[in-house]
Structure 1
């Protein structure tokens, strides 16, 4: 069943970009709006303070210590227009609104009941004429002749123009940010298209490989994609090598069994034609048995070679040596119980492990033990330990030694060749040591045949340790 497709990478990138852009622009819009309102409010306050300074400059006191304001000296025409939005007022010690601008008409500003130190400026928010919100800037002044009498000068302005300016700014800012969001999203779309273009090229290269128009991924790819391409090409090359090796083994096997099959066909034709004399039947039977045995040996050999060639040398797999060795020793003791052999395994460290498949370790040790038991007179010993050669990584050293007749120096080089049997009286196919040699070589190990302490054969294995 084909797995469900994951969400589109393009859509995920665009969705993430849209969310991040929206959040960033919302925060930016809120910040800019707050900054603009603060700036506009400060400008508004500065304007009112200028008007307050102008009012203070036009304030005077008559001989009776009553305040006088030269309204003709106030330049802003809004002072004289009723409910214009700009107002001034002078409050005395005894009454509110002793003097006020014509713009207040018949109303007065209601100021908060607080004390304003002389010369200091206070800013308040209050309600002005017609119940409209106003911003009030005020200060206290004194007549030098009567310093105990305090007069409050207040200038107020309707905040509606300020609020309208802020609202207009927010509307224009929202429209600008919306346009900016659309432009940035379009730019992100182009960026995603350009960024994912190598994946389209990779897909085309894969289509070429699948369509057998190319043997590997071809093309120039970015540095982020190139490692993936190199790994995939490595897999393709490995598969091609495995296929080629399988073809080679199939061809070798076909060539190897061609002669035995031809001999068997000839024998069958003679039997079918009735040209075999009764005295030749035992000889013909031995011939058929010999050719079948030869074909079986070739099949076993090539199957073992094909299996070893197909191995991928798995990394990270660990096989404890002690359980495998002890299990094989017990199995061989039962198989050769009638010969009374002493098959022993020395104490092996439980932490000692082979970096490879357990099945391969069984195959290697099983063939060596079986070979040793066939040739041993009375004893077979198995030993294993960890060794380190120089600065190389640790290895597992396994020794399988028998007390048999051994092999002379000239014969040891031939012992691991396929199908070679040094003694035809001992059962076997002559493939055991060759299969061991292939598997050991696959793992980068070595197999060395030596003369044992008792004169027999000692097989020394060096395999990678986990």
Structure 2
């Protein structure tokens, strides 16, 4: 069995079809047996009636020899040679080596019926199966009668019929029965397929609802489901609600922590700037700035870590990117850069928090604007479950051997410009929290191309 535990649909169909096959095979065996017994009973009844007629027609002459009355037997098949219906009268007890019949039907022609020796009580009927004159299968009924003259003489009366017609009728019935049961089995199998499809339809609806939640189109599983499934839906929605509450509480605590730390740091920084210039005031100002940047970095990581697995997250890329490009255009207005989003599809969305996407793209755009000579171009496409975003500039770029180093914390792209070296490190950490990554390469215009991979929302 696979790691998923197999298919519920296949389990239900397998169990249903196996039970169906067993039921149909059992029905065929039982009905065929009933019909075979019925045909045999009818055949034996017909033989008993013929035997009763033979007994009624049997008379004895003055010498005590059996004769058939003038009316004879009513069935014309007794007169047709090898017709498949025969009668015979022979004396009892049987004499070894001399078992000649006293009387036999014309249908036997010059043959005789050879039944095994049998102890027959008066009036009792015994039945046997034997080979006929032409080796055809026969079923025979026999009884013994006692004549008045001579006293004590006994005779065995035999009537036999060909089993071919009965066997053919049984064969035809079995064929029709098998075809009917196969047709019924096909219809029942189709009904089972329809039943499974209808019965599992709520699970398909639940799967589509989960897909919408995963793609960020909905926050909860909506709709009504059967009584057997609704408790699961309610519990799942309850888990989503509690998870959202936990995330919101974590955000609030993160914001409170940031506010609690930023205020004292801001006061210390302001005091350092207002103090008379000295080595101490410079050291305090530098360390306060470093602490603020480290605080920003760790808070971004903590915020992303608490929201990365929250279902239903969806942030449209276009509005966020447009707002950042406008902000960067104002921030770097003195450089007169050309900022462009090159053919970004309007339906692209990030499966995560808007603030995290702004943090990542804002750092990449700010770095690109600092290094660019005249233009920054942003391109984005969807590649399967991933959102691929490239921020290209036409600046001096970075040597391939240094690209891995500048992604580390504290390493700056341009050492001649102010900065903490945390921008790209924050982008890398946030991207990896969401399962993505950031890579650096060469841009078509000769500068740097920062390629960001993030999970795409449906």
Residue aligning to 1:81: 80
Matches within 5 A, 1:335-374: none
Distance verdict in 2 for CA 1:71–1:196, change over 3 Å: farther
Could you list the per-position Cα deviations for residues 35-72 of structure 1 after superposition, in whole angstroms to 9, with x for gaps in the alignment?
11011101100000000001100001111111011263
Distance verdict in 2 for CA 1:254–1:147, change over 3 Å: farther
Pick aligned residue for 2:133 from 98, 115, 129: 129
Offset, 1:34:
1.0
Pick aligned residue for 1:198 from 197, 202, 205: 202
Measured in 2, the distance between the counterparts of 1:70 and 1:102 equals 15
Residue aligning to 2:55: 56
Could you list the per-position Cα deviations for residues 233-279 of structure 1 after superposition, in whole angstroms to 9, with x for gaps in the alignment?
121112101110111111111221221111121133246xxx2589x
Alignment of 1:207 with 2:211, yes or no, is yes
Matches within 5 A, 1:309-458: none
* Contact 1:65/1:143 (<8 A) preserved: yes
3-state SS, counterpart of residue 92 of structure 1:
strand
Residue aligning to 1:90: 89
Could you list the per-position Cα deviations for residues 317-373 of structure 1 after superposition, in whole angstroms to 9, with x for gaps in the alignment?
xxxxxxxxxxxxxxxxxxxxxxxxxxxxxxxxxxxxxxxxxxxxxxxxxxxxxxxxx
Alignment of 1:256 with 2:255, yes or no, is no
Offset, 1:224:
1.4
Measured in 2, the distance between the counterparts of 1:131 and 1:268 equals 126
* Contact 1:90/1:96 (<8 A) preserved: no
Alignment of 1:65 with 2:69, yes or no, is no
TM normalised by structure 1 equals 0.58
Offset, 1:16:
2.2
* Contact 2:63/2:149 (<8 A) preserved: no
Offset, 1:31:
1.1
Measured in 1, the distance between the counterparts of 2:157 and 2:212 equals 89
3-state SS, counterpart of residue 250 of structure 2:
helix
Measured in 1, the distance between the counterparts of 2:205 and 2:144 equals 80
Residue aligning to 1:138: 142
Offset, 1:134:
0.6
How many corresponding residue pairs? Answer: 293
Measured in 2, the distance between the counterparts of 1:277 and 1:60 equals 153
Offset, 1:209:
1.6
Pick aligned residue for 2:244 from 240, 246, 258: 240
Alignment of 1:100 with 2:104, yes or no, is yes
Measured in 2, the distance between the counterparts of 1:87 and 1:217 equals 82
TM normalised by structure 2 equals 0.59
Measured in 1, the distance between the counterparts of 2:49 and 2:222 equals 77
| Structure 2: runs of 5 or more not aligned | 308-458
Q: CA RMSD in A?
A: 3.2
Residue aligning to 2:227: 223
Could you list the per-position Cα deviations for residues 390-434 of structure 1 after superposition, in whole angstroms to 9, with x for gaps in the alignment?
xxxxxxxxxxxxxxxxxxxxxxxxxxxxxxxxxxxxxxxxxxxxx
| Structure 1: runs of 5 or more not aligned | 311-466
Pick aligned residue for 1:175 from 172, 179, 204: 179
Residue aligning to 1:111: 115
